[in-house]
């Protein structure tokens, strides 16, 4: 076996939350106690969030990755693999090796088999706080190449590549750059929109924490092409690790001459500033984001004029999201033909998605455009972690829609996804199984948009609230068939009358669930029944006497003492006192507690 060059621990937020810091410290102590001089470093997330903490043993020939590494596993890994050179095969979850100059990957779950890494090619492989590792991986080569080109040539390359905005709208990136370059103004700006606020979305965070220089390099190239001298990264303050690593990366880039005055002797000067957002979802909209940077309340304004003509402080401004900027260095380095060869006719390249919810393999994936939802959710995502059938996937966050299982052969491209009633969005995929109530899901996303609406326009301010009230009425068993008509009418009007994308897309969860899951709405309205047994007013918990052993586990766990009975004898639940928290159902080891329709037995 080749000599071990380094040990790496995945230290993005997902890894840290899973215990990676403790694992890192355990490895550090073990190496010190054994007197081993093996380099220990941090890397970002490779995408296998469900296997964290991840530990890599790196040699000249390969990278062997262990999953779920807690401090207890560390001594054995050091003893068997690092000292004796014998990998512990039952703990190995991934192997990387180099073939024909390219990195190849095998993993135990088949997670990477259908992935194509462009945006995420460095994430999980380099130290995000070390610019030298980014440079060794080919970083800033694209910038050097771009500075030898004319700005118009760069824009032409981006147009020919077919890159479309990955923030959700899918507008051609090269055209956006062209409009900003051609706009008249004595000063121009570029902005990176990292205000990732969708529930279940963590693509941008992963990139910023795992490969911040890639985004910075893309912004510098874009600024040079557009003629901008100042850039901003608008990132939510709830991403402290991303902000920390961005600050480190920006300082390193300045020290190496990639940012600041006369970049690499080209005569081009440009710098980037971080603006921390306060977590307002509406600031993901371009004009609201601009207002926030200017120190104003984050509220959208009518368009036109578009930011390309009149943006930040009234100057021409180009805004792209994290993933869009991160694609740029690869396109410049490898050529527009290589990028355009991936994907479909109208949707080129790859797309990063965050898999969350009831998916077995939760994490970040990057796949070629045109792959089907079924391939992503079953072949990469592994189906549900519950083992039950996937009922639907929410694509595009609160602005997206719920796509049913029978449409999972839909190709993932902008036009095909939009045809389902959902949107691509920034890339969040929330997976739901048979135990999910689709009416409750629509209510959840409406609750989010009601709270996040800036209140500027009437349709969004009042319309989203009224839609939520109707959904609340239905989930409480008080809905009527007229309410379903009102829901659809309200959704159509809010979609047409709202000022910005938040209000225009807020009805999507309602419209898609009405379209694909009308039977669940009717069950709630006509039968006063929740088929998934989720909506509390429509269910009750009962103890089956023949199955109850009287172990008292449920009575002890009940937070409101609603369960009574003698030890070793069947217990009963006081329905008046029961708050339907489900604790008893969870702790019962004998399947003696069932969730039934509220009216059952009346």
* Tens-digit pLDDT profile for residues 105-154: 999 999 999 999 999 999 999 999 999 999 999 999 999 999 999 999 99
SS3 (DSSP) at 432: strand
Q: Which pair of structure tokens corresponds to residue 277?
A: 């957002």
Work out the pLDDT band at 426, boundaries 50, 70, 90: confident
All domains of the chain, ordered by start, with CATH?
Answer: 4-107 (3.40.30.10), 141-338 (3.40.50.11540), 350-433 (3.10.20.600), 438-526 (1.20.1440.230), 536-597 (3.30.70.20)
Which residues pair with residue 165 across a beta bridge?
Answer: none
Q: Which pair of structure tokens corresponds to residue 93?
A: 């979850």
Q: What are phi and psi of 542, to 5 degrees?
A: -130, 150
Mean pLDDT over all residues of the chain? Answer: 95
Pairing of strands 363-368, 350-357: antiparallel
Task: Tell me how far the alpha carbon of residue 100 is from its chain's centroid.
Answer: 32
Q: Which pair of structure tokens corresponds to residue 410?
A: 């839909």
Strand ranges (DSSP E) for 136-263?
A: 189-194, 230-236
Mean pLDDT of 149-167: 96
Q: Is the pLDDT of residue 295 over 60?
A: yes
Vertex 102 angle, CA 52 and 64, to 5° = 35
Rounded-to-integer distance, Cα 430 and Cα 358, Å: 8
Q: Is the pLDDT of residue 602 over 60?
A: no
Work out the pLDDT band at 600, boundaries 50, 70, 90: low
pLDDT at 278: 87
Pairing of strands 350-357, 62-66: unpaired
- The answer to whether 471 and 446 are in contact (CB under 8 A) is yes
Q: What are phi and psi of 49, to 5 degrees?
A: -60, -30
Rounded-to-integer distance, Cα 485 and Cα 488, Å: 5
Work out the pLDDT band at 425, boundaries 50, 70, 90: confident
- The answer to whether 119 and 326 are in contact (CB under 8 A) is yes
Q: Which pair of structure tokens corresponds to residue 400?
A: 């997206």
Rounded-to-integer distance, Cα 368 and Cα 396, Å: 18
- The answer to whether 393 and 431 are in contact (CB under 8 A) is yes
Rounded-to-integer distance, Cα 212 and Cα 134, Å: 9
Mean pLDDT of 262-274: 97
pLDDT at 111: 98
Higher pLDDT, 399 or 188: 188
Work out the pLDDT band at 197, boundaries 50, 70, 90: confident
Mean pLDDT of 362-391: 96
Torsion of CA 272, 273, 275, 276, to 10 degrees: 100
Is the pTM higher than 0.75? The answer reads yes
pLDDT at 531: 96
Rounded-to-integer distance, Cα 377 and Cα 392, Å: 10
Rounded-to-integer distance, Cα 171 and Cα 179, Å: 12
Number of helices (H), then strands (E), belonging to the chain: the values are 23, 19
Mean pLDDT of 210-237: 97
Q: Is the pLDDT of residue 517 over 90?
A: yes
Work out the pLDDT band at 599, boundaries 50, 70, 90: confident
SS3 (DSSP) at 594: strand
Rounded-to-integer distance, Cα 258 and Cα 269, Å: 9
The segment with the largest mean pLDDT, out of 19-33, 421-435, 488-502, is 19-33
pLDDT at 1: 58
Pairing of strands 189-194, 317-321: parallel
Residue with tokens 């008249």: 184
SS3 content of the chain, % helix, strand, coil (to 5): 40, 20, 40
Q: Is the pLDDT of residue 286 over 80?
A: yes
- The answer to whether 189 and 260 are in contact (CB under 8 A) is no
Q: Which pair of structure tokens corresponds to residue 478?
A: 């008080």
- The answer to whether 162 and 323 are in contact (CB under 8 A) is no
Q: Is the pLDDT of residue 587 over 70?
A: yes
Q: Is the pLDDT of residue 391 over 60?
A: yes
Q: Which pair of structure tokens corresponds to residue 151?
A: 């700005």
Work out the pLDDT band at 169, boundaries 50, 70, 90: confident
Pairing of strands 350-357, 428-433: parallel
- The answer to whether 548 and 599 are in contact (CB under 8 A) is no
Mean pLDDT of 534-562: 96
SS3 (DSSP) at 530: coil
Q: Is the pLDDT of residue 303 over 90?
A: no
Mean pLDDT of 212-234: 98
Q: How far is CA 346 from CA 161, 349, 365, 369, in A?
A: 11, 10, 21, 10
Rounded-to-integer distance, Cα 514 and Cα 602, Å: 30
């Amino acid at each position: 076996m080749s000599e071990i060059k380094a040990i790496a621990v995945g230290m993005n937020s997902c890894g840290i939350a899973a215990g990676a810091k403790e694992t890192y410290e355990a490895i550090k102590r073990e190496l010190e106690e054994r007197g081993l001089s093996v380099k220990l470093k941090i890397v970002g997330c490779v995408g296998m969030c469900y296997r964290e903490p991840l530990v890599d043993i790196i040699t000249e020939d390969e990278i062997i990755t262990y999953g779920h590494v807690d401090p207890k596993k560390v001594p054995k890994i050091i003893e068997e693999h690092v000292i004796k050179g014998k990998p512990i095969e039952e703990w190995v979850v991934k192997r990387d090796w180099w073939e024909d100059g390219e990195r190849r990957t095998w993993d135990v779950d088949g997670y990477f088999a259908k992935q194509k890494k462009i945006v995420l090619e460095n994430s999980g492989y380099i130290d995000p706080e070390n610019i030298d590792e980014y440079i060794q991986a080919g970083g800033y080569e694209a910038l050097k190449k771009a500075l030898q080109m004319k700005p118009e040539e760069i824009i032409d390359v981006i147009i020919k590549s077919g890159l479309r905005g990955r923030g959700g709208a899918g507008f051609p990136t090269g055209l956006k750059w062209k409009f900003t370059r051609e706009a008249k103004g004595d000063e121009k700006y570029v902005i990176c929109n990292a205000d990732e606020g969708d529930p279940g979305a963590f693509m941008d965070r992963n990139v910023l924490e795992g490969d911040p220089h890639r985004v910075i390099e893309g912004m510098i190239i874009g600024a040079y092409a557009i003629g901008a001298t100042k850039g901003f990264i608008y990132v939510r303050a709830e991403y402290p690790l991303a902000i920390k690593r961005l600050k480190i990366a920006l300082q390193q880039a300045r020290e190496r001459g990639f940012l600041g005055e006369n970049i690499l002797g080209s005569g081009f000067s440009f710098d980037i500033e971080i603006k921390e957002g306060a977590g307002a979802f509406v600031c993901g909209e371009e004009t609201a984001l601009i207002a926030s940077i200017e120190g104003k309340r984050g509220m959208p304004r009518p368009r036109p004029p578009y930011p390309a003509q009149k943006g930040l402080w009234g100057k021409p401004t180009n805004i792209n999201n994290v993933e869009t900027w991160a694609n740029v260095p690869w396109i410049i380095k490898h050529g527009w033909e290589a990028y355009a060869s991936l994907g479909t006719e109208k949707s080129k390249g790859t797309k990063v998605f965050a898999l969350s919810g009831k998916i077995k393999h939760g994490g970040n994936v990057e796949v070629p455009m045109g792959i089907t939802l079924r391939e992503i959710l079953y072949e990469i995502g592994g189906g549900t972690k519950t083992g039950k059938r996937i009922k639907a996937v929410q694509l595009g966050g609160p602005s997206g829609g719920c796509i049913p299982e029978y449409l999972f052969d839909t190709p993932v491209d902008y036009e095909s996804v939009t045809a389902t009633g959902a949107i691509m969005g920034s890339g969040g995929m929330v997976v739901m199984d048979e135990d999910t109530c689709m009416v409750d899901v629509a209510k959840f996303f409406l609750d989010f948009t009601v709270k996040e609406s800036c209140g500027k326009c009437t349709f969004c301010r009042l319309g989203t609230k009224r839609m939520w009230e109707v959904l609340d009425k239905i989930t409480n068993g008080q809905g009527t068939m007229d309410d379903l008509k009102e829901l659809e009418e309200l959704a159509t009007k809010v979609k047409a009358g709202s000022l910005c994308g938040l209000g225009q897309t807020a009805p999507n969860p309602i419209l898609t669930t009405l379209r694909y899951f009308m039977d669940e709405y009717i069950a709630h309205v006509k039968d006063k029944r929740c088929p998934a047994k989720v909506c509390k007013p429509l269910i009750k918990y009962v103890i089956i006497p023949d199955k109850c052993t009287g172990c008292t586990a449920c009575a002890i766990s009940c937070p409101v003492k609603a369960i009574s009975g003698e030890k070793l004898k069947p217990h009963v639940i006081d329905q008046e006192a029961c708050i339907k928290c489900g604790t008893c159902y969870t702790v019962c080891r004998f399947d003696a507690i069932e969730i039934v329709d509220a009216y059952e037995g009346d």
